Amino acid sequence: KAAFINFISDEEWKSIEPVSSWFGPSSFLMSSMSALFKLSMWIRHGHGYLTENLGMPVWGSYAVFGLATLFLGMVLGLVSEALGTDGDC
């Protein structure tokens, strides 16, 4: 507590570099990272539901998520092709 009070009263906070806008809480990078963490938690809960509640073997859950990943990739590829974007810069 004393160190924090000294940090404020001695104005040591002025010598600290501010956080880059890339790493700020509202930046695109951090928002994307947050979305990935939320997705990973959804996948973890889905895996738990499939294996614990439905009694599916672990390899079956992996197969479901693997096939879902392949299917999503195919759908995104078709959408990308339909929109005429080829991925070149």
Could you list the residue range(s) of the whole structural domain that residue 50 is in? 1-84
pLDDT in tens, 48-84: 999 999 999 999 999 999 999 999 999 999 998 888 8
Inside any domain, residue 43:
yes
How would you write 49-88 as a 3-class SS string? HHHHHCCCCHHHHHHHHHHHHHHHHHHHHHHHHHCCCCCC
pLDDT, position 22: 73
The total domain count for the chain is 1
Mean pLDDT, residues 30-42 taken together: 93
Residue 89 domain-assigned?
A: no
Q: How far apart are CA 73 and CA 66, in angstroms?
A: 11
